[in-house]
């Protein structure tokens, strides 16, 4: 007998992250989206906000105070709002997934330093598992509390993780430069996302002190000092993270590739890009729009010992909703790739 689909409610479903989770969940054979909330759009049909979902659902947005019980509750509220409703949300569903940054850090002191205020429920942070299955799969199995990872943090962690399992690195320091599309800023407009300001812009908005540094540092457990720089680029979706590492004398490209293959050969959504010819020899976020893939490329300068690792992903899918859905698949024992096999478009 086939088990009944899990009933899913998505809180804050009118934003980009919530809309992307809704899109993916509507195509998932083991999920049934039964409620979506939005204060601003309460009473309106989903397609009035997400026109790509026309004819795919008859759901209408409801206000948060009408939230009902479900098997899975996904919160796509802005930072700080999930924690305010933590008790209420956890009472509504057996499994709770937060796509914001509220529950990503397990250390309350690190959270306070990063966000400038104490966490409202510091004793609950350790109960959430970060949704990067490539690094936390064992902890995700059977998990009922999942924290969606940051998009830039996901790209950075997956670029660095293979080289922490070996003695290949010569320095404890890495510099990561990330180019990020406008959808990472969310659906609420602001001065920096106003079209005349954003269109055509190449603006470094976080030369130092990007808040995802804390998330990456915690995931790497202090084994590497990470310095992030973030630049806004004229794309809607996508992140391209370029990490600069320094390796031991005598390290060959073969050594680098062996480290990557050992880490990711069995991973369903990490692809090593090794093309020697053609236009697409290195990872490009354009090819990943709408997908849960991470493309990873490497280049080694043997004279200087500098290793350049690039990762590309869709910030709304693998970087947010898709990574969380992948983690949910692991947690509930579904095939990990379920609902996430869209291959992307070209051109």
Tokens, residue 340: 């996430």
Ordered domains of the chain (ranges, CATH): 6-148+318-332 (3.40.50.720), 152-315 (3.30.360.10)
Q: Choose, from 9, 77, 151, 228, the residue flagged as catalytic.
A: 151
Q: Calculate the CA 179 to chain-centre distance.
A: 15
Q: E strands of the chain, at which residues?
A: 6-11, 31-37, 61-62, 70-75, 93-98, 129-130, 145-147, 173-180, 203-206, 225-232, 239-246, 270-272, 294-301, 306-313
Q: What is the pLDDT of residue 1?
A: 54
Are 326 and 136 in contact, with CB atoms under 8 Å apart? no
CA nearest 292: which of 166, 188, 154? 154
What is the pTM (predicted TM-score) of this model? Answer: 0.96
How many CA atoms within 13 Å lie on the side-chain side of 85? Answer: 22
Q: Give dist(CA 43, CA 39) in Å, integer.
A: 9
Q: What is the pLDDT of residue 128?
A: 98
Q: What is the pLDDT of residue 194?
A: 86
Q: CB-based burial of residue 206 (10 Å sphere; 0-12 exposed, 13-18 middle, 19+ buried)?
A: middle
**Helices 322-332 and 16-26, axial angle in degrees (round to 10):** 50
User: Quick check: is 201 catalytic?
Assistant: no
- Interval 59-102: pLDDT, tens: 999 999 999 999 999 999 999 999 999 999 999 999 999 999 99
Alpha helices (H) in the chain, listed in sequence order: 16-26, 81-84, 86-92, 108-115, 133-140, 151-160, 195-198, 212-220, 253-264, 322-332
**Count of CB atoms within 10 A of residue 141's CB?**
13
pLDDT < 70 stretches in the chain: 1-2
Place of tokens 């869709």: 314
Q: Is the dihedral of CA 90, 96, 100, 101 positive or negative?
A: positive
């Amino acid at each position: 007998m086939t088990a009944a689909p899990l009933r899913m409610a998505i809180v804050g479903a009118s934003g980009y992250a919530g809309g992307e989770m809704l899109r993916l969940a509507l195509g998932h054979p083991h999920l049934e989206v039964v409620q979506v909330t939005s204060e601003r759009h309460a009473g309106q049909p989903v397609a009035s906000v997400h026109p790509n979902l026309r004819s795919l659902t008859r759901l209408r947005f409801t206000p948060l105070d009408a939230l009902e019980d479900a098997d899975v509750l996904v919160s796509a509220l802005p930072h700080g709002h999930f924690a305010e409703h933590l008790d209420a949300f956890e009472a509504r569903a057996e499994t709770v997934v937060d796509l914001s940054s509220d529950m990503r850090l397990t250390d309350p002191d690190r959270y306070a330093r990063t966000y400038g205020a104490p966490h409202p429920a510091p004793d609950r942070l350790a109960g959430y598992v970060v949704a990067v299955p490539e690094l936390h799969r064992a902890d995700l199995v059977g998990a009922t509390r999942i924290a969606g990872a940051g998009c830039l943090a996901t790209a950075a962690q997956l670029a660095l993780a293979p080289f922490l399992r070996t003695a290949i690195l010569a320095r404890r320091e890495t510099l990561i430069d990330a180019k990020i599309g406008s959808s990472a800023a969310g659906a609420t407009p602001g001065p920096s996302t106003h079209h005349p300001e954003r269109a055509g812009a190449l603006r470094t908005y976080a030369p130092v002190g990007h808040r995802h540094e804390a998330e990456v540092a915690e995931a790497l457990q202090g084994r590497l000092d990470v310095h992030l720089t973030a630049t806004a680029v004229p794309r809607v979706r996508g992140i391209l993270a370029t990490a600069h590492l320094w390796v031991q004398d005598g390290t060959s490209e073969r050594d680098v590739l062996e480290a990557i293959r050992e880490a990711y050969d069995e991973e369903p959504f990490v692809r090593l890009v090794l093309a020697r010819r053609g236009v697409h020899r290195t990872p490009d976020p354009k090819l990943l729009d709408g997908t849960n893939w991470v493309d990873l490329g490497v280049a080694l300068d043997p004279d200087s010992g500098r290793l350049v690792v690039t990762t590309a992903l869709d910030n709304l899918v693998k970087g947010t909703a898709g990574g969380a859905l992948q983690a949910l698949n692991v947690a509930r024992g579904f095939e990990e790739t379920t609902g996430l096999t869209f291959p992307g478009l070209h051109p």
